[in-house]
Amino acid sequence: MRICVIGSGAVGITHVDTIAKTPGYELAGIADPAPATGEVAARYGTRPYADYRDLIEAEKPRGAVIAAPNALHLPIGRDFLEAGIPILVEKPVANTVAEGMELAAISEATGVPVLVGHHRRHHPAIRKARELIAAGALGRLANVSITYDLMKPADYFDAAWRRQAGVGGPLLINAIHEIDLLRFTVGTVTEVMALSSSGIRGFEVEDTAAVILRFDNGALATLALSDTACGPWSWDLGSGDVPRFPRHDVVSHMFAGTEAGLTLPRLELWRHQGSRAWTTPMAPEAVDYVERDPFLAQLEHFAAVIDGREAPVIDAREASLNLAVMQAIETSIRSGEKVPVMEP
């Protein structure tokens, strides 16, 4: 199956590498106006294009991965969908809820599917956590705590859009994954409160934020994140998802219910060794699952979506609900108040 990639940045290269090394797939070109695109294409034995529209005409791929900056997801996605080419568009699906819903409408009008690159939905540990929570293994879920700390190097911000309000910042770039993970494992977010700070980097976008989320089942979650903090406590540095990040044996997600607790990415169930009381010791129990590269699983799912064998596990409409939560978070930061999540 011939699949092209639009965007030769870090995430684009992850997709390029996954396609190139997987039997049964062929990299049908890379499109990016960046000068280094030719070098990347040569390294993977494919053709470079400065304009993705030239790639559509010349290569006629079966599918396309869109890993361009967020603001370009809608216009690029529209051109591929109108050409009849299914797309895997990186998260967030678009810059705004309205743009995400517009992409969903184009997909529905053309009958050409959109899969959104929330790759964690394909991670076996997260899928197992979802099963355990749904099955009541934790009892009634009360509280979720998420930490996302890492240090992005200065040259990461050479790309101006990463410093631009409404496009960059760890909330939109990184926390969107956490929002999707919470919606996937816990349920519907109904209300948020949030604070942010740009006191360290001094950019117009935040470098640090704290968010409280309320769910329709009564559970609460806290998310504390920073891209200017020295600490390994994040999914990216604890899961081993992406080879360019060193893997650390840490916990970044903690789910606490009335019967047990659960950690991620180290998938452990914590239970009291006797009565459920704070004076009774607790012990962890490792939960068995088969490790698998979530990007490979996502690629195989995308192929099934292209062939019409499976529906997207998360399409543009579903992914726009993540942006609705993000929109509420941004409103809360500006107002200093609790904000309800308004679904589109």
- Please state the rounded mean pLDDT for residues 184-213: 97
Q: Is the pLDDT of residue 167 over 90?
A: no
What pLDDT score does 192 carry? Answer: 98
In this predicted model, what pLDDT tens digit does every residue of 232-271 receive, in sequence order? 999 999 999 888 899 999 999 999 999 999 999 999 999 9
In this predicted model, what pLDDT tens digit does every residue of 68-97 receive, in sequence order? 998 999 999 999 999 999 999 999 999 999
Secondary structure letter of residue 171 according to DSSP: I
pLDDT band at 323 (very low <50, low <70, confident <90, very high): very high
Q: What domains are there in the chain, each with its CATH number?
A: 2-120+295-314 (3.40.50.720), 124-291 (3.30.360.10)
In this predicted model, what pLDDT tens digit does every residue of 212-231 receive, in sequence order? 999 999 999 999 999 999 99
The pLDDT > 70 percentage for the chain reads: 100
In this predicted model, what pLDDT tens digit does every residue of 245-256 receive, in sequence order? 999 999 999 999
What pLDDT score does 33 carry? Answer: 96
Q: Is the pLDDT of residue 159 over 90?
A: no
In this predicted model, what pLDDT tens digit does every residue of 107-126 receive, in sequence order? 999 999 999 999 999 999 99
- The gap from C-alpha 88 to its chain's centroid, in whole angstroms, comes to 12
- Please state the rounded mean pLDDT for residues 119-148: 98
- Please state the rounded mean pLDDT for residues 189-218: 97
What pLDDT score does 161 carry? Answer: 86
SS (H, E, C) the chain: CEEEEECCCHHHHHHHHHHHHCCCCEEEEEECCCCCHHHHHHHCCCCEECCHHHHHHHHCCCEEEECCCHHHHHHHHHHHHHCCCCEEEECCCCCCHHHHHHHHHHHHHHCCCEEEECHHHHCHHHHHHHHHHHCCCCCCEEEEEEEEECECCHHHHHCHHHHCCCCCCHHHHHHHHHHHHHHHHCCCEEEEEEEEECCCCCCCCCCEEEEEEEECCCCEEEEEEECECCCCCCHHHHHCCCCCCCCCCCCCEEEEECCCEEEECCCEEEEECCCCCCCCCEEEEECCCCCCCHHHHHHHHHHHHHHCCCCCCCCHHHHHHHHHHHHHHHHHHHHCCCEECCCC
pTM over 0.85: yes
What pLDDT score does 312 carry? Answer: 98
Q: Is the pLDDT of residue 344 over 90?
A: no
What pLDDT score does 244 carry? Answer: 86
What pLDDT score does 111 carry? Answer: 98
In this predicted model, what pLDDT tens digit does every residue of 47-62 receive, in sequence order? 999 999 999 999 999 9
